[in-house]
Structure 1
Amino acid sequence: MSNRRDEGGLADLSWPVVPPSPTVLVPLGSTEQHGPHLPLHTDTTIATAVAQAATARLRRARPRDSLLVAPAVAYGASGEHQDFPGTMSIGNDALQLLLLELIRSLSRWAGQIVIVNGHGGNLDGLAAAVVQMRYEGHDAVWVPCTAAGTDAHAGHAETSLMLHLAPHLVDMTRAEPGNLAPLNQLMPELITKGVAAVSPSGVLGDPTTASAQEGHRLLDQMADNVATRIRYGRVDRTGCLLPVAATCRT
């Protein structure tokens, strides 16, 4: 029987070949609207791709370490998108409880547990869960899927990433610019009334400028960022791995 410790997919393994105390990356996404041109699983697809690409980088840097990518958590806190059909949100309280139990279970056999977050709305529930788990003595942290200069939602960045990762699921004939105002200006109304109040299409940004080449570049940047945080990052008060000159709330 071959030892599959160098393959990324935890769910592909049988239990006897799971290596002792592996670092486990858990992609955390959402199932929510991403404008009229992107699929509902956009955040989950991106978080999974970032976790896989970061794992490949870590294996090259630390070839003796055991690293595995767990199946993604595909539901998150997406209440701000609830006005759009297709959105399925479990809310912050349920997300926090899900992550608490997941980390407790993983901790029975895994080493470090790294939640790779692909949806900003998950931050409150995610941080609360990881902080509690660390208080209980579990080696749990989280990292964001982030790159410099990206727009907010279903715009240039996410559309580029999906053109690279799943072009057959992107309908560029339906891609149109949404609300282009800076996110910090939109946040008060977005928090109180939801995304539909500031963008009837659900888009915050301009997807028409997207390209697969840009998506490849962004994925590389995100994966490099996650791998660097896991190798060198310090843990901040929210449980996020925070390298120098980086921030977790992006």
Structure 2
Amino acid sequence: MDLASATWTDVRDLESELAVVPVGSTEQHGPHAPLGTDVLTAEAVADAGLERVDRTVIRTPAIPVGIAEEHRQFPGTMWVSPDTFRSYVRESVQSLAHHGIERVVLVNGHGGNVDALREVGARLTRDGDAYAVPFTWFEAVGGHSADMGHGGPLETALLRRVAPELVREGRIETARDGAADGWGDWTSHANLAYDSAEFSENGVVGDPAEGEKERGEELLELAADSLARLLDAVAEREVSRPDGR
């Protein structure tokens, strides 16, 4: 069920305590990909995963702004502080739990949100507010995960599958020419850079030319299948907290 298009009576009469909350970011993704890439991909994976489960799951509107100050030099990028982000996600889930929707999968499309979402899930669960589990789609695509950059092959491929009209195909070569090979500037296992503009001329990491639509189809299948398995596991899990040892 799509929460945004449902009525309150629809939700009242629904026999489900499970929801997915897409979480993304509004930030630069190079000259060829939209600022909303992380929201679009999170929503697409969430929707594809829901098609694969034989149970009723509520799909909420996406959270569109995340922890993205590392892209602040690129116009159009929006961000909130980690504290604000954690509070917003936590309180959004608490509002669902108030109505009996007490199991939530946070479907994430932005790397900068990963740590905070894990913290939020732990806090909600340990406090007994809800059982919340974060799922980041590009960590759930097998060997492809090693190629995750930023506006690079994976995100470009998935965009070409789910929103091809938003990929500026005429700028792919420009994006490729200004891209960094990897994320950060590393010495002695320490990343010396805090902002993406320190190591990438145009904000891209990885080669977007390697993000073919066919690869995007495979990525969507892998991520959606993985999400469907997770939804079943979250729905069936015993979530009471262990006793003290």
Question: Corresponding residue for 2:125?
Answer: 134
Q: Is the 8 A contact 2:148 2:154 kept in 1?
A: yes
Percent identity over the alignment? Answer: 34
The within-5 A match list for 1:234-245 is: none
Q: Is the 8 A contact 1:92 1:124 kept in 2?
A: no
Decide which moves more: 130-139 or 34-43: 130-139
Question: Corresponding residue for 2:157?
Answer: 160
Q: 1:23 aligns with which of 15, 18, 41?
A: 18
Q: Across the two proteins, how many residue pairs are aligned to each other?
A: 221
SS of residue paired to 1:222: helix
Decide which moves more: 71-80 or 166-175: 166-175
* CA deviation profile, 1:50-102 (whole Å, cap 9, x unmatched): 1111111112xxxxx32121100001000111111010001211100101111
| Shift in alpha-carbon separation, 1:221–1:174, aligned structure 2, 3 A | same
Q: 1:80 aligns with which of 55, 67, 70?
A: 70
Q: Is the 8 A contact 2:184 2:192 kept in 1?
A: no
Whole-angstrom distance in 2 between the partners of 1:182 and 1:43:
17
Whole-angstrom distance in 2 between the partners of 1:16 and 1:45:
28
Q: 2:6 aligns with which of 4, 13, 37?
A: 13
SS of residue paired to 2:192: helix
The within-5 A match list for 1:43-62 is: 43-59=38-54
Q: Is the 8 A contact 2:35 2:77 kept in 1?
A: yes
Question: Corresponding residue for 2:241?
Answer: none
Whole-angstrom distance in 2 between the partners of 1:145 and 1:51:
9
Q: 1:189 aligns with which of 192, 195, 200?
A: 192
Over the aligned positions, Cα root-mean-square deviation in angstroms equals 2.0
SS of residue paired to 1:107: helix
Whole-angstrom distance in 1 between the partners of 2:132 and 2:59:
14
**What amino acid is aligned across from residue 134 of structure 1 in structure 2?**
T
Q: 1:95 aligns with which of 77, 81, 85?
A: 85
Question: Corresponding residue for 1:4?
Answer: none
Q: Cα distance, 1:17 vs. partner?
A: 1.2
Q: Cα distance, 1:185 vs. partner?
A: 4.4
Q: Cα distance, 1:181 vs. partner?
A: 3.2
* CA deviation profile, 1:138-187 (whole Å, cap 9, x unmatched): 22221111223232110111001111111111112112321113669497
Q: Is the 8 A contact 1:151 1:157 kept in 2?
A: yes
SS of residue paired to 1:201: coil
**What amino acid is aligned across from residue 102 of structure 1 in structure 2?**
S
Q: Cα distance, 1:136 vs. partner?
A: 1.2
Whole-angstrom distance in 1 between the partners of 2:109 and 2:185:
19
TM-score, normalised relative to structure 2: 0.84
Q: Cα distance, 1:28 vs. partner?
A: 0.3
Q: Cα distance, 1:196 vs. partner?
A: 0.6
* CA deviation profile, 1:4-41 (whole Å, cap 9, x unmatched): xxxx4111111111213331100000000000000000
Question: Corresponding residue for 1:174?
Answer: 171
TM-score, normalised relative to structure 1: 0.83
Whole-angstrom distance in 2 between the partners of 1:197 and 1:182:
10
Question: Corresponding residue for 1:213?
Answer: 214
Q: Is the 8 A contact 2:46 2:224 kept in 1?
A: yes
Q: Cα distance, 1:111 vs. partner?
A: 3.4
